[in-house]
């Protein structure tokens, strides 16, 4: 974790790190595949979340700001904030960093599952 001079976690630095990872790996196909896997997994893992809340969770984990989320989803920034507070309440977390950590954990769990599941070959008829 990055801390500032007062020992507080540097959330901005972490968000910039996520953005840099996206820039370093601009593979649109991989990003779309991750989205297709992660969003249903979020809906399954946390059924209390609405599909709109899951979209907001996904974009938040991609280090979008509230304004960027609002522009992407064509909603007001205040609506994004309202959804985030609802998400925090449902997940019993208190901030954006906790949300990002939760999604990161889920990403790793989904990735581990994909690596350990048996691959079907063409000989299996698939």
Whether the pLDDT of residue 3 is over 50: the answer is: no
Query: Is position 13 within any domain?
Result: no
Query: Is position 36 within any domain?
Result: yes
Whether the pLDDT of residue 66 is over 90: the answer is: yes
25-59 pLDDT tens trace? 556 677 777 777 777 877 788 888 998 999 999 89
Q: Residue 123 CB: number of other CB atoms within 10 A?
A: 6
Query: Is position 76 within any domain?
Result: yes
User: Residue 37: which CATH number?
Assistant: 3.40.50.2300
89-125 pLDDT tens trace? 999 999 999 998 888 887 766 655 444 444 444 454 5
**CA–CA dist 63, 69 (Å, integer):** 10
Give the pLDDT of residue 5. Answer: 56
Token pair of 115 as six digits: 């690596």
> What is the total count of domains within the chain?
1
């Amino acid at each position: 974790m990055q801390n500032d001079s007062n020992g507080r976690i540097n959330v901005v630095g972490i968000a910039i790190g996520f953005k840099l990872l996206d820039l370093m790996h601009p593979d649109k196909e991989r990003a779309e595949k991750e989205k297709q896997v992660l969003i249903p997994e979020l809906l399954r893992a946390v059924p209390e979340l609405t599909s709109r809340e899951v979209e907001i969770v996904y974009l938040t984990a991609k280090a979008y700001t509230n304004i960027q989320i609002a522009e992407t989803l064509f909603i007001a920034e205040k609506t994004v904030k309202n959804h985030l507070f609802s998400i925090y309440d449902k997940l019993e977390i208190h901030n954006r960093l906790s949300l990002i950590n939760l999604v990161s954990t889920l990403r790793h769990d989904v990735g581990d599952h994909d690596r350990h599941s048996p691959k079907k070959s063409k000989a299996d008829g698939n």
